[in-house]
Amino acid sequence: MDQTLPLSGRHALVCGASAGIGQASAFALAKMGATLTILARRQQRLEDLVAPLKEAGAPDVYTLVADFDKRDDLVTKVSNHLEQHGSIQIWINNTGGPPGGLLLEAEEEELLTAFGRHLFSAQRLLKLLLPGMKDAGYGRIISVLSTSVREPIPQLGVSNTVRAAMASWSKTLSGELPPGITINSILPGFTATERLASLAEARAEKANTTPEDIERGWLLSIPEGRLGSADELGNVIAFLASPMASYVRGVCLPVDGGRLRSI
């Protein structure tokens, strides 16, 4: 193990790690020397990542197949994993976004599912992971939310609602957690991942146009003039997870190429 790396000796749980922003943050944390547990529903995808993550610098990589929509099972699996592989000091709280659509048309069930996947799972994982962070005197909790926390996005009614709740959850905890255990959120803008591709397709179908047209419209709103890459998000997440971010606490950090117009 390279003891000189900023996260050597630390163990990170990266949720939603089989694709997109979660996967990219796993690689960024591996480069900083963290041991990794990568969690998602698709087992093969996770297994395929083990060797490349080790090559990138992670001393050990464990996989954990679990579903944020099945909370009891999720909690049992994470709890068993902690007993077997030791505590976690860094938790990347990330999972799939709710489907799009108008809030006016959303059923109660859709809101319940979204709150379950995001807020209730987060609260239960927090209770499991916090004792290990307290023992280590080092904790980093980073939630992947959305710029909709600041400016709700049309056609993402359920997502806008649950993200705002998550931002408040995180900010409230930043006042309650002990020193040395920080909690922050990142707000991705338009980031080129499977999630964005499927949103572009759904919008194109509704507007009777092409996903490329939808993307061109998005680009007009981004001062950087392009979509973000998952790696650009992963790097910011890894910074927040590192000792370099020891005095950053309770922030919602947009990583959006300047798209948000609010201060």
Ligand X SMILES: NC(=O)c1ccc[n+]([C@@H]2O[C@H](COP(=O)([O-])OP(=O)(O)OC[C@H]3O[C@@H](n4cnc5c(N)ncnc54)[C@H](OP(=O)(O)O)[C@@H]3O)[C@@H](O)[C@H]2O)c1
Residue 165 beta carbon to ligand X: minimum distance, rounded to whole angstroms? 13
In the bound complex, what is the minimum distance in angstroms from residue 70's beta carbon to ligand X? 8
Scanning residues 24 to 63, which ones bind ligand X (CB under 6 A)? 40-42, 45
Confirm if 125 and 93 have CB atoms less than 8 A apart. yes
Question: Per CB under 6 A, does 226 bind ligand X?
Answer: no
Query: Is 146 near ligand X (CB under 6 A)?
Result: yes
Instruction: Specify the amino acid at residue 252.
Output: C
Task: Tell whether residue 71 is a contact of ligand X (CB under 6 A).
Answer: no
Should residue 234 be labelled a site residue for ligand X when binding is judged by CB under 6 A?
no
Instruction: List the x/- string, 95-114, binding to ligand X by CB under 6 A.
Output: xxx-----------------
H or E element at residue 14:
strand 11-15
| Closest CB to ligand X among residues 243, 258 | 258
Nearer to ligand X, 41 or 134 (CB): 41
**The token pair that represents 179 in the structure block:** 């020193």
Site membership for ligand X, residue 238 (CB under 6 A)? no
User: To 5 degrees, how large is the angle CA 107–CA 65–CA 116?
Assistant: 25
Q: Per-residue string for binding with ligand X, 201-220, x by CB under 6 A?
A: --------------------
List the strands of the sheet with 61-65, edge to edge. Answer: 61-65, 35-40, 11-15, 90-93, 139-144, 181-188, 252-255
- State which of residues 93, 170, 191, 242 lies at the interface with ligand X (CB under 6 A): 191
Binding flag, residue 195, ligand X (CB under 6 A):
yes
Angstrom distance (rounded) from CA 62 to CA 38: 6
Distances (CA, A) of 144 to 14, 67, 243, 253: 11, 17, 19, 10
CA-to-CA distance for 24 and 192, rounded, in angstroms? 12
Binder of ligand X out of 33, 57, 188, 257 (CB under 6 A): 188
Decide if residue 20 touches ligand X (CB under 6 A). yes
Alpha carbon 260 to chain centroid, angstroms:
19
168 Cβ neighbours under 8 A, 6+ residues apart = none
Residue 117 is a binding residue for ligand X (CB under 6 A): yes
Kindly list the residues in this chain that would bind ligand X in the complex (CB under 6 A): 16-22, 40-42, 45, 67-69, 94-97, 117, 144, 146, 188, 190-191, 193-196
